[in-house]
Copies of this chain bind each other. A is one copy, B any other.
Amino acid sequence: MSHNTFGHLFRVTTWGESHGAAIGCVVDGCPPGLPLTAEEIQAFLDRRKPGQSRFTTQRREPDEVAILSGVFQNDQGIDVTTGAPIALEIRNVDQRSKDYGDIAEKFRPGHADFTYWEKYGIRDYRGGGRSSARETALRVAAGAVARKVLGPDITIRGALVQVGPHKVDRSRWDWDAVAGNPFFCPDAETAHTWEGFLDGIRKAGSSTGAVIEVVAEGVPPGWGAPIYGKLDQDLASAMMSINAVKAVEIGDGMEAAELTGEENADEIRIGSDGSPLFLTNHAGGILGGISTGQPVVCRFAVKPTSSILTPKLTIDRYGRETEIVTKGRHDPCVGIRAVPVGEAMMAIVLADHMLRHRGQCGS
């Protein structure tokens, strides 16, 4: 029962507002003895960092992470986790002293401005405060720790698979292409299409939605805890908790509705190594809430950001009708930077389930 904590045995608690003094997280329950440095975490943060292309916000957020606890030098002179809580912190540096007037008083349609106000009667409106996507930097940082827990045999990779109406061509899927364009796009040709599309969005001061796919390979069968600690359930929870996410799919997702039982059946053979071999993966690597040993496949849809240049009808906090235009540095497609965030949440869910499975079943 915690509003700002995710996970059970591997737990992440985040804190901080977009334009406050700092943001941070506490990673609790991490196994001891895992090598961990700030540099390793920083590498993941840098993938999410804004301003790396003209397609993401031009805010300057160096996002330099510090490890404040939970790591200690072992006898070999290597910094390793101690089993104590790992505190990660990012000091804010881009806190321009500016006039937040409009946002302070008015609610952006489609934004949490309104609901925070309704719930709490007070809100830190600066840069979105607690509801800012800046919080997702901490997910990425915690996800880097989670990857350490999972070890090198589990690979977690994400890609942007749709921007607005434009989907990737899965026949051209190439994981190596992901790093070769500013969109984490696994299909170089589609990346080219997106470039033009997003330039139009950007110049119009508009925004667009997107779909992200995250795949985890190497997950052994048996992780996940039915009935209410299902692996897919926790993935759904994890991904839906990311800002702006409106849908989560496992395996065939919504399209499973259109399948027949014959089409949906992932038939099983015995592979050359003597272990079970599935002929297809409609299930996305999860059956009955438990991993099958196949790749775990999760997708989520991100809505377009509500910060746009077109005036929109709204009200202010005094209950008066008005209009709002959001100026400033925006993300034409927040879905781009959601890719490393989705990877991180996959890692966090898997690390938690690895420990939970080991707790109950002993391996």
Contacts and interface: CB of A to CB of B under 8 A. Distances in A.
A83 B15 CA distance: 11
A28 B4 contact: yes
Interface stretch (A47-55, A171-179, A353-361): A353-361
A115 interface: yes
A64 interface: no
A4 B162 contact: no
Copies of the polypeptide in the assembly: 4
Interface residues of A, number: 155
A305 B261 CA distance: 6
Interface in A200-259: 201, 206-211, 221-230, 232-237, 239-241, 243, 246-259
Interface in A107-134: 107-112, 114-116, 118-124, 129-131
A186 to B, nearest CB: 16
A2 interface: yes
B241 A246 contact: no
Interface centre among A74, A116, A268 (most CB of B within 10 A): A268
Contact of A85 (B13, B82, B233, B256): B13
B265 A109 contact: yes
Nearest to A118: B221
B261 A208 contact: yes
A108 B164 CA distance: 38
Contacts of A26: 4, 13, 15, 26
Contact of A135 (B211, B225, B227, B357): B227
A37 interface: no
Contact of A268 (B69, B107, B230): B107
A86 interface: yes
Contacts of A359: 9, 29, 355-356, 358-359
A287 B122 contact: no
Nearest to A119: B222
A287 to B, nearest CB: 5
A304 interface: yes
A267 interface: yes
A190 interface: no
Contacts of A4: 26, 28, 84-85, 226-229
Nearest to A111: B287
A141 interface: no
Contact of A315 (B85, B268, B335): B268
Interface string A2-16: 111110110101111
Contacts of A8: 1
Contacts of A321: 269-270
